Amino acid sequence: MRKSAIACGLLASVAYTAPTWANEDSLKLSQDPKNWAQQSGNYAGTRYSKLDQITTANVGSLKVAWTFSTGVLRGHEGSPLVIGNTMYLHTAFPNNVYALNLDDENKIIWQYSPKQDPSVIPVMCCDTVNRGVQYAEGKILLHQADTALVAIDAKTGKELWKSVNADPKKGETGTQAPTIVKDKVIIGVSGAEFGVRCFLTAYDLNTGKRVWRAYSMGPDEEILVDPEKTMSLGKPVGKDSSLKTWNGDQWKNGGGSIWGYTAWDPELNLFYYGTGNPSTWNPAQRAGPDGKQIDQKWSMTMFARNPDTGMAAWAYQMTPFDEWDYDGINEPILATLKIGGKDRKVAVHFDRNGFGYTWDRATGELLVAEKYDPKVNWATHVVMDPKDPQYGRPQVVAKYSTFLNGQDVNTKGICPAALGSKDQQPASFSEKTGLFYVPTNHVCMDYEPFKVSYTAGQPYVGATLSMFPAPDSHGGMGNFIAWDGATGKIVWSKPEQFSVWSGALTTAGGVAFYGTLEGYLKAVDQKDGKELFKFKTPSGIIGNVFTYEHKGKQHVGVFSGVGGWAGIGLAAGLTNPTDGLGAVGGYAGLSNYTRLGGSLTVFTLP
C-alpha cells in the first residue's frame, strides 16, 4: 500500500467540551484516563487514552499481570470496563456479567447470569457475540442476545429493571453495546438476515420505560425524519424519502440492522450511528417496479439524531441499492481535523464498502470519501462535486454488479468481500499523531444471488458466497493501517496473515495496540507501524484492546476467544466452505493456529 507523510499542521483534539446538562457521571468517568469507562473509551469513540506510562521505548517489556477465564467458549467481542477499583466483564451467550475487585486479587464481587432461551442462538447471524456492557450512575447496562435490556446494580449485581426490546421468534436479536446519553439508554436491534425491519430505541435510564423508537426504513413518522429539516448532502430529504425508494411494501421486511459502536457530541447534542444492509441479499428481488435499481433508504446509512427526541438531523447513504451486503454499521469517530486550512469538527467512518468517509458532523457535508484498501474494485470512486447529479454516490463497476449480472449468476472477484474492508472491529484516533488506526480485512469474494421467500423467523438471505485473500497482494487477509482522515490517504500499512478483527487502541505513549485472529496481542509505533511487542494469548482475538491505571501502574488488556463472522467456522463447528455466509472457506486455515477460548489477559510493565 502507498505511504504518505503525516499531513503537516493536522490538528487533533478531543471531540467535545462537556456542557453542564450532559450525563455528568459518564462524562466525568470517561475523562479520567485511569478508568476505561465506556466501550469506546469516550463519547467521541476515539479509543484513545492519555495514559503514557507504557511507551514505544518500554512496551517491549510488557509482562502478563493476570488472566481470567470467562467460562464461555464462543467469540468474545468488546472489552471489559474499569471504574475505579472495579472491573466489569461480559461474555458471549449466555451473556454473563462479572464484577471483579482489582484491590483484592481480582476477586469476583458478583456474577449476573441471564436466563435466556437457547433458541435465540440459531437466529444470531454471525456467532453468539456481545459487544459489551456500559456504565452510568451506579448501573451496568446489558443488552442480551434475546434483546432484553437490563439494568444491574453495579455494587450488588441485583437486577434493577428489564425491558424487552424485540422478539427473537421473528429473527430479532441483540448484540450491540448500549449507549447512555444523559438519562437515556439507546440500543439497536439486529435481524436483516431474517427480514426484520430494524430500529433504534431509547429507554429511560432509571425506569427502563421506552421513550422513542426510530426505524431504519418506512414512513417519515416511524423513521423520525422531518421532510424539511432532516438533511442529506445539503438538501432536505423530502416527504416519504424512504417509502419512495422501496418497491411496494418491501420496506416492511427491509433490514437495516443496528449493531455497531456509536458516538455522541454533547455540544451539538447529536448521536451518530450506522444502519445495515437491506433485505434480502438478492438485489433482483429488491428492484423497482420497472426492474431498475432503487436506493432503499435508509439502509446503509450514517444517521445523526437528537438523542432527546430521536429526530434525525442528517443522513448519508454510503451504499445505495446494496448488492454485496456492505453493512453500514461501522462506528463513527468524532475528531477535529484541519481540512482546507480550516479546523473542521468531523465524523470519520470506515465503511464495509471499502471507503473511508469524513463528514462535517454538524451538517453531514461530505468532505472526504476515499478507498482505504487499494484492492477495492466494486466502485471506482464517490462523486464529490455538489453540482453533479451523482453527488455523494459511489460509481459502480458493472463487472462486479451482482444485480446487472443477474440472479443465479456467480459474480467473481468482488473486492471487498461481504464482511467488508472493515467489519465491526473499531478503529482508533490518536490525539498524538492526528491519524486513525484501522484494523482491516483484505478479502474478496464470489457472490451468487438466488430467489428466496420471506417467512418470519427464517433466514432471508438469498445469496451464496465464497471468500478468499485479495489477489496480487501480500497473500494475507488483513492489514493494520494508519489513515489520514483529512486527505483520505493511507500513511502506512502493516500486513497480517488473517483479517485484523480486534478493536484498536492508541495511547499518549505513542503506541497503537491490536489483536490478531491467531491470538497475538501486538503493539506498534504510531508513527511508522514498526512492531514493538507481541504475545500469543490462549485464543484468537476479536475483542477490543483497552487500558486503565491501577495502583499507579498502567495496564493493557484484551479478550481472547475466537469467533465472530471471520471465526464462525471454529466457533460453530462449521466445515462447508460456503457456510457462515461464505466465511468458513475463506478462514479455513485459522484452525491451524488457534482454538476456542474465552479469557481475559492483562499486561503491565515489570
Question: Which residues, at least 6 apart from 559, have a Cβ–Cβ distance to it below 8 Å?
Answer: 70, 76, 77, 78, 79, 80, 541, 542, 543, 544, 598, 599, 600
Q: How far apart are CA 92 and CA 262, in angstroms?
A: 20
Which long-range contacts link 387-391 to residues 24+ away (Cβ below 8 Å)?
391/233
Q: How far apart are CA 282 and CA 405, in angstroms?
A: 12
List Cα–Cα distances, 586 to 9, 185, 310, 540, in angstroms: 41, 37, 40, 16
Q: Establish whether the linkage from the previous residue to 416 is cis, with ω within 30° of 0.
A: yes
Residue 23 confidence (pLDDT):
61
Task: Please state the φ and ψ torsions of residue 122, each to the nearest 5 degrees.
Answer: -65, -20
Report the catalytic residues: 325
The SS3 assignment for 190 reads: strand
Task: Please state the φ and ψ torsions of residue 451, each to the nearest 5 degrees.
Answer: -70, 140
Question: Within 13 A of 369's CA, how many CA atoms are on the CB side?
Answer: 24
User: What's the predicted TM-score (pTM) here?
Assistant: 0.95
- Helix then strand count (H, E) for the chain reads 4, 40
In the sheet that holds 139-143, the strands lie side by side as 134-136, 139-143, 148-153, 159-164
Residue 125 confidence (pLDDT):
85
Residue 157 confidence (pLDDT):
98
Q: What share of the chain is helix, strand, coil (3-state, %, to 5)?
A: 10, 35, 55
Residue 572 confidence (pLDDT):
81
Task: Please state the φ and ψ torsions of residue 479, each to the nearest 5 degrees.
Answer: -145, 150
Sign of the CA dihedral running 589, 593, 598, 603? negative
Of the candidates 329, 302, 325, which has an alpha carbon nearest to the alpha carbon of residue 315?
302
Of the candidates 152, 129, 116, 30, which has an alpha carbon nearest to the alpha carbon of residue 81?
30
Number of neighbouring beta carbons within 10 Å of residue 381: 12
pLDDT digits (tens, 9 = 90+) for 484-538: 999 999 999 999 999 999 999 999 999 999 999 999 999 999 999 999 999 999 9
Go through the domains of the chain in sequence order and give each one's CATH number. Answer: 24-604 (2.140.10.10)
Question: Which residues, at least 6 apart from 340, have a Cβ–Cβ distance to it below 8 Å?
Answer: none
Rg from Cα positions in the chain: 22
Residues of the chain with confidence (pLDDT) below 70: 1-23
Measure the N-to-C terminal CA separation of the chain; round to a whole number of Å.
Answer: 37
Residue 457 confidence (pLDDT):
92
The one-character DSSP state at 36 is B
| Residue 554, strand partner residues | 549
